[in-house]
Amino acid sequence: MDVLTIDGVVMPKVKSMSFGAEKIWSKKTGRVANGDMKGDLIAVKLKLQVVFAPLSDEETRIVDAAISRAFFDAKFRNPRSGKMETHTMYAGTPTYPVYSYAEGMPRYVGTGVDLVEQ
């Protein structure tokens, strides 16, 4: 089963995905004089925290190319619905921790990126 596809490209070696809900508040949201929070909730957007298993140079290029556009279509199983869904998303800043420069070894271990619904 393909865990995550971006614009139809299967992302390699997805180790884990954590799902969250980003609340988008109105401009005038904040604390008032008595300390209560006031404001209007405009939307709730999906946020995926994706972590990959150790990646080679080529696998890292696939991930990087997929998330480099401003917006893209990501397909994954939404835990809210229990179904495969496609959402237009954007990527936060990816991390590519170098594990080794030795030939034949995985190059990057702990690669991760946050994907947020547009």
Instruction: Please tell me what DSSP assigns to residue 64.
Output: H
pLDDT along the chain (118 residues), means of 10: 91 95 93 94 96 93 96 94 96 91 80 96
The reported pLDDT for the residue numbered 1 is 61
**pLDDT (0 to 100) of residue 21:** 92
pLDDT of 60 reads 93
Q: State which residues form the domain around 109.
A: 5-117
* pLDDT confidence of residue 104: 72
CATH number for the domain harbouring residue 11:
2.40.30
- Number of domains observed in the structure of the chain: 1
